[in-house]
Every structure is written in C-alpha cells, then in structure tokens.
Structure 1
Amino acid sequence: MPRTIGASRGFARRRGSKGHFCCTNAQIAIAWVAAQGPDIVPLVGACKRERLSEALGSVDIELNDEDLASIARAVPNGAAAGYRYTTALLSELDSEMRPG
C-alpha cells in the first residue's frame, strides 16, 4: 500500500485535494535519480513482482524544480554516505557484496 508523502516530509508540491504525492518513498527516490539529468538512468533491482510494480510506478512521477529543491533541503549532498551494512554484518554477506 503506497504511503502518502506530504509537506511535513518536505517532498510535496500541491497535488490533488490534499496536495500530496501519493507514492512510496522508493518511487520518490527513483524519480529523483531519473531527474538528475538526461544521461542518468535509474537501475532498479526487485526480487518480488510487487516491488517491480512499485518501482515502475515512479515513471509517472514528475519532479519539478521546487520538488527537487525540497528534497535537497531535506537530504543535502553527503548526508547519506558510508556503507549500507556494518562491518560485522558484511562478514555474513556474499563476498561480491563486500566493499573494496
């Protein structure tokens, strides 16, 4: 079930009666990657059909300059950095997923 992302999260442009995007966080993230330039293509991996269907829903999301600025304020460059997993968890992952 999609979550509503609204002005309280900093990602809303007035849309519909409540002025919210009606999409998931993943769809916003994929739309943001696609909006980074004509030479940028989001690569989406999905293990389940419902995740693929969710990801494909991002194609219908058009982020304007105001949306992109709102996202940039909420998540500035460099705010999300580092490894996804701790060192302890990395030792349990497939060797191809280990950094460096």
Structure 2
Amino acid sequence: MIILEFPSESKDVFNELIEHSPSSVVFAKKGNLSGTADLSVAMITAAGAIAPFVTKIVIEMLRTKRKISLKCKGIEVRGLSEETAKEIITRLMDGKNAN
C-alpha cells in the first residue's frame, strides 16, 4: 500500500486514477495542525498496473508546487524530484526494493 498525504484542495489530481480503478484508492481526511491547510490521505492498494497513475499524481503535485508526501513500508519521502519520484513509485508498485 502506498499512502499519499496532500492538501485537501488538491484532490482533483486523483480524478484519472479514480476513473480507471475506483476500488484501488480510499480517501480519509487527516485534519489540520495549528491553522495550516486541511490535509487528506489517499491509501492506494492496487499494484503494478496503476503505477503510471500514481506517478502522474505525484509529478503533477510537484510541478504545481503543491506539497505531497509518499509513505510506503514504513518509509516517508518528501521533497522528491520528478525522476526520483518516478523511480521510487515504480519500484514500490512492482514490489521491488526501493533502495
């Protein structure tokens, strides 16, 4: 499972993934801390075939300077470059070691 934490107003970037595989993503509201933006969490359960959609979401968030964090297998990653994001997500979704 991959968990993406993001500002709630950015949920629109998930539309294509939801259309392609609605059962592979579950959303939850995380709330906010000390007056910061509301945060949401997307829990993505499918593997392999939806990796391109997850990569596209992360890259779109990075390109538009929106904050996003990626959590998987007890590891949290923030501040990714596009290329690093692609590599990490592909490896995680394929079940390979992301070292």
Q: TM-score range by the shorter chain?
A: under 0.3
Q: Which has the higher contact order (CA 8 A, sep 6+)?
A: 2
Q: Which structure is higher in strand share? A: 2
Largest Rg, 1 or 2: 1
Q: Could you state the TM-score of these two structures normalised by the residue count of structure 2?
A: 0.25
